[in-house]
Structure 1
Amino acid sequence: MSSTVLEPVVSRVRHGLAPWARICGIAVCALLTLGPVIWTVSTSLRTPADSADLPPEIVPTEPSADAYRAVFDKIDIWLYALNSTLVTALIAIGQMITAGLAGYAFARLDFRFKKPLFALVLATMMVPLQVTIVPVFLELKVLGLTDTLLALIIPAFPTAFGTFLMRQYFLGMPKDLGEAAMIDGAGPWRVFRSVYAPLAAPGLAIVGVLAFNYHWNEFFRPLILETSTENLTLPLGLVSLQGNLGTGSISVVLAGVVLSMIPAVAVFVVGQRPLREGITSAGVNR
């Protein structure tokens, strides 16, 4: 059989395998991503005696909600959830405001040292949190804010990534809109508030959703800045479920983990549409 006859056959086989190869690749990635989550939910529904069985069962033979009841009995999860909700919501709102204002200033306003200042902002993204936590702690101590929820909220308002994201977002918007508003007598603040800020709502939604999900799961800063039990956030409060020297029940610990995941998943589901629209519109604008 000549090569000219084989070429169409090989081409059909290659095109037929390509979709299945992509589906298999996506399935493997999904399994690797969701595998730990499935194991966490499954183990949280087992009894403490069955939680350490090897190999672990994907579907518990006798599902039990005792581990979830134990979470509410062992820790004040409602207080910790309220603290986390308050902290993360205010941080998300604060970052949306600061990122929107800073991004607009770097994108649309002309002032001295704009480029060096923006480079300095981007450089802060390369500095690990562990390097800056001691100076931040000392400043908060001088201000009398240590061991308060404000110690977690106020230092998290500035966001280098959010500033960069919103600057790119504003650069993709037409200048004619702002120039037309200025011809009508609007100042820089009025142009931002009435013209560009409404158009930047998808980008601001991206900043808010990412900030909420990141700070909801934050552990390091609350560990350093909070000492009182009434000021603990949910990730830090769940540590007490491990018991002394990690002797707590695995199923109880994972039940607390599952409960802590619910608000973050809910925020992501609600914010998925503006997040997708913001990324898509940013790509179209660029």
Structure 2
Amino acid sequence: MTAGAVRERRSTEVPATADAARDHRRREALVTALGYAAMVAVLVTVALPLYWIVMTSFKDRPDIYTLPVTWWPGTFHPENYAEATTSVPFWTFLRNSVIITGVLSAVKFTLGVLSAYGLVFLRFPGKNVVFLGIIAALMVPNQITVISNYALVAEWGWRNSFHGIIVPLAGVAFGTFLMRNHFLSIPTEIIEAARMDGAGHARLLWRVVLPVSGPTMVAFAIITVVTEWNEYLWPFLMADDASVAPLPIGLTQLQNNDGLTDWGPVMAGTVLTMLPILAVFLVLQRHMIKGLTSGAVKG
């Protein structure tokens, strides 16, 4: 090939490469813009109702029902928070929620970790059948079992008691499924090395399996705490009075029955209900990120 032909070929290849690079950059910019637009849309969808709840908690009744809708209180009315905590036994509801959520979360976390460990690291007949039963339990909505559970608990005389609320909710199919899948992802070399060093099941669980499962355990804990804190249907059926009723039940008592609900105290109670679970989430999220980053740098 002559030198002139080579130069001509290079002159045609360079513009084509430059055009391809510009098209690639444009596609990347478009994808980035769409990604940011989607994030903004999700943020607005999530944050707008929260903003409305917080702002409404500081409005008086005329300001709430005014048209057109106002997104900022005309005059701040913090008395809604005092009314929310005094018109109903709010602190009793808060205590009950802490007890129910704390006990249920501890029980579910313990059962989920131990059952998942047994399904992965123990050998026993029918292990696959047990796991299929757990999967089947995940497919059954909790509402289907309400009638049978209610009849059983009522027969045992557990109505209007903490154990009547806690025991039927202590099933842990989701946690077992989540932790089992994570335990299966642990490299077998680590497990075999621990067993060669003479580690039994207790030592293997506490010294090897759990230390490398931090992020998954934190995710399991967050999901469990949020779910139990917001549980409404079963406590509503079991609780006859404020002695064992949690906060979701207490919020319904803030609504008046005169045909016009005073949404200011209701929203104030909602904000106070969100704060503890938000604090727990922020603390656990910090540990989750720490666990993720530490695992990344250790390789």
State TM-score, norm by structure 2. 0.85
**Percent same amino acid at aligned positions?**
29
**Corresponding letter in the other structure for 1:97:** T
1:66-110 Cα distance to aligned partner (Å, 9 max, x none): 211111221111110111011111111111100000111111111
The reply on whether 1:121 has 2:113 as its aligned counterpart is no
Select the structure of larger CA radius of gyration.
Answer: 2
* Contact 1:124/1:160 (8 A) holds in 2: yes
The reply on whether 1:231 has 2:271 as its aligned counterpart is no
Where does residue 7 of structure 2 map in the other structure?
none
**Residues 240 and 192 of structure 1: is their aligned pair in 2 closer, same or farther, counting only changes over 3 Å?**
same
Whole-Å Cα distance in 2 between the matches of residues 74 and 138 of structure 1? 33
* Contact 1:205/1:278 (8 A) holds in 2: no
Q: Choose 49-58 or 96-105, whichever is displaced more.
A: 49-58
**Corresponding letter in the other structure for 2:153:** L
Aligned length: 283
**Corresponding letter in the other structure for 2:152:** E
Where does residue 8 of structure 2 map in the other structure?
none
Counterpart pick for 2:264 among 224, 247, 251: 251
1:281 CA displacement: 9.1
**Corresponding letter in the other structure for 2:166:** I
Counterpart pick for 1:94 among 107, 116, 139: 107
The reply on whether 1:143 has 2:156 as its aligned counterpart is yes
1:209-240 Cα distance to aligned partner (Å, 9 max, x none): 11111111111111111112211100101101
SS in structure 2 opposite 1:242? coil
* Contact 2:57/2:265 (8 A) holds in 1: yes
**Corresponding letter in the other structure for 2:181:** Q
**Residues 280 and 136 of structure 1: is their aligned pair in 2 closer, same or farther, counting only changes over 3 Å?**
farther
* Contact 1:169/1:203 (8 A) holds in 2: yes
Query: Structure 1 regions of 5+ residues with no counterpart?
Result: none
**Residues 20 and 187 of structure 1: is their aligned pair in 2 closer, same or farther, counting only changes over 3 Å?**
closer
* Contact 1:43/1:51 (8 A) holds in 2: yes
Whole-Å Cα distance in 1 between the matches of residues 117 and 94 of structure 2? 34
SS in structure 2 opposite 1:214? helix
CA RMSD in angstroms, aligned pairs only = 2.6
Counterpart pick for 1:156 among 166, 169, 175: 169
Query: Structure 2 regions of 5+ residues with no counterpart?
Result: 1-14
**Residues 123 and 11 of structure 1: is their aligned pair in 2 closer, same or farther, counting only changes over 3 Å?**
same
Query: How is 1:203-242 mapped onto 2 (pairs within 5 angstroms)?
Result: 203-242=216-255
* Contact 2:92/2:242 (8 A) holds in 1: no
Whole-Å Cα distance in 2 between the matches of residues 223 and 282 of structure 1? 42
Where does residue 206 of structure 2 map in the other structure?
193
Query: How is 1:42-53 mapped onto 2 (pairs within 5 angstroms)?
Result: 42-53=55-66
**Residues 243 and 203 of structure 1: is their aligned pair in 2 closer, same or farther, counting only changes over 3 Å?**
same
* Contact 1:92/1:207 (8 A) holds in 2: no
1:45 CA displacement: 0.9
1:134-173 Cα distance to aligned partner (Å, 9 max, x none): 2222332333322111222222222111001110111111
SS in structure 2 opposite 1:112? coil
SS in structure 2 opposite 1:61? coil
1:36 CA displacement: 0.9
State TM-score, norm by structure 1. 0.89
The reply on whether 1:272 has 2:285 as its aligned counterpart is yes
Where does residue 144 of structure 2 map in the other structure?
131
Whole-Å Cα distance in 2 between the matches of residues 180 and 58 of structure 1? 61
